[in-house]
Amino acid sequence: MSMVSRINRQIVLVRRPVGMVDESCFAEVEGEIPTPGDGQALIRVLCVAIDPAIRGWIDERGSGYLPALKLGEPVRANGIGVVLETRSERLPVGALVTCLTGWQEYSIACGDFSDLTKFASPLPEGCSAVDGATVLGQGAVTAYAGVVRAAPPVAGETYLVSAAASGVGSLVVQLARLEGARVIGIAGSPEKCRWVVEELGAEACIDYKRENVDARLKALCPKGVNVFFDNVGGELLDVVLRRIAHRGRIVLCGSLSTDNAAEPHRLRNYDRLMSRRASMVGLNVIDHWDLFPEALKRIGGWLASGTLVYRSQVVDGLEHAPNALVRLYEGDHLGKLVIRVAGSPLG
């Protein structure tokens, strides 16, 4: 590759957050453009997704399935890029791929599972970079694995989804509906709730900021909640535990409400798991990496046919990634937050 400049602009972690994440945890630096080794490819990053997983990766404890970032390392994040140079048969030059690009302009990827922090998969034909960053990255596999494996819907069952207007939540709402479930969402504004019902197809959506969630669940789910796909945790999980159905299933996917908390929320209603013979399981995409090709193919097909829909808010400029992560937890956006790396066409 011939370039006038070998500079790789990066946003790195310089301080671990204590409580709420803020922009002072990050700094912009200039590094060198890396050279791919055997089985690897050089990726020009087009855009990156702003996901809750980033908060776990920058914490000293890590996420539990990938190591914590070291200070001075580029922030780990799912992104979409185009292959510029390759030494991998699975990643041809010009291919649009999804991988953990990180907050930087150039990244190294591999086409196999030898390094999960570098694994890349080509996007389905016809999908754009925004498609990939919004609904065809790790979040897509997470949602797909949750609905297909962790808690497959049974026709007629009530499938409750928290953070239903989020990237993962909005996919779960639609996937569960396609499988015949009666879907109810929980979101944080009238606008989000309208979108979940009118465009995603949920039967109802509870505004947890303006409504009594317990009372609404009692009215909407008189026989209890059969499946709860939880992206929030904390007090909301406690409320739903009170309304879990006999042999109900709870999938723990995220903890948005407590990610930045100094102390964890202590569940008061966990005994309902015992009395209702219910189950609660953690969902981690690392256990379902084999579903990546299947999930991308099926979700890509549903996107192409208009069966699945999404919303994204695209912010121009890598330098705005830290602010976007703060906004993720402030909840002032609708749809997936995506950073367009400066100078890169999304198509």
Using DSSP bridges, classify how beta strands 244-252 and 279-282 pair: parallel, antiparallel or unpaired: parallel
Q: At what angle do helices 138-145 and 292-305 cross, to 10 degrees?
A: 100
Report d(CA 74, CA 52) in Å as an integer.
16
The per-residue pLDDT for 125 is 83
Same domain, 266 and 228: yes
Match 């996007």 to its residue by tokens.
123
Contact 341, 8 (CB under 8 A): no
> What is the four-CA torsion angle of 209, 211, 217, 219, rounded to 10 degrees?
-170
Locate 107 and state its tokens. Answer: 């990244």
The per-residue pLDDT for 317 is 94
Quick check: is 59 in a domain?
Answer: yes
Match 């109900």 to its residue by tokens.
248
Quick check: is 295 in a domain?
Answer: no
Same domain, 173 and 210: yes
Same domain, 95 and 220: no
By CB atoms closer than 10 A (0-12, 13-18, 19+), residue 59 is middle
Quick check: is 346 in a domain?
Answer: no
Report d(CA 239, CA 215) in Å as an integer.
10
Same domain, 231 and 191: yes
What is the count of structural domains for the chain? 2
pLDDT tens, residue by residue, 178-206 = 999 999 999 999 999 999 999 999 999 99
Same domain, 274 and 150: yes
- pLDDT classification of 148: cutoffs 50, 70, 90: very high
Average pLDDT, integer, range 22-41? 94
Q: Reply yes or no on whether the pLDDT at 106 is more than 70.
A: yes
Smallest CA-to-CA distance from 165 within 201, 195, 209, 134 is with 195
- pLDDT classification of 4: cutoffs 50, 70, 90: very low
Match 């609905």 to its residue by tokens.
147
Report d(CA 216, CA 214) in Å as an integer.
5
- pLDDT classification of 143: cutoffs 50, 70, 90: very high
Same domain, 109 and 248: no
Report d(CA 244, CA 236) in Å as an integer.
12
Structural domain including 265 reads 139-286
242 DSSP β-pair partners: none
Contact 85, 93 (CB under 8 A): yes
The per-residue pLDDT for 233 is 87
The per-residue pLDDT for 344 is 53
Quick check: is 131 in a domain?
Answer: no
Same domain, 329 and 201: no
pLDDT tens, residue by residue, 329-342 = 887 778 789 999 96
Average pLDDT, integer, range 215-241? 95
Report d(CA 95, CA 163) in Å as an integer.
33
Say whether 145 sits in a helix, a strand or coil: helix
Q: Reply yes or no on whether the pLDDT at 129 is more than 70.
A: yes
pLDDT tens, residue by residue, 205-224 = 999 999 999 999 999 999 99
User: What's the pTM value of the predicted model, to 2 decimals?
Assistant: 0.87
Q: Reply yes or no on whether the pLDDT at 287 is more than 90.
A: no
Report d(CA 246, CA 269) in Å as an integer.
15
pLDDT tens, residue by residue, 152-169 = 999 889 999 999 998 899
- pLDDT classification of 62: cutoffs 50, 70, 90: low
Indicate which CATH number applies to the domain containing 163.
3.40.50.720
Average pLDDT, integer, range 111-129? 81
Locate 83 and state its tokens. Answer: 């292959």
Same domain, 166 and 270: yes
Smallest CA-to-CA distance from 245 within 279, 213, 216 is with 279
Quick check: is 294 in a domain?
Answer: no
Average pLDDT, integer, range 3-14? 84
Percent of the chain predicted with pLDDT > 90: 61
Indicate which CATH number applies to the domain containing 95.
3.90.180.10
Same domain, 277 and 148: yes
Same domain, 108 and 151: no
The per-residue pLDDT for 2 is 47
The per-residue pLDDT for 276 is 93
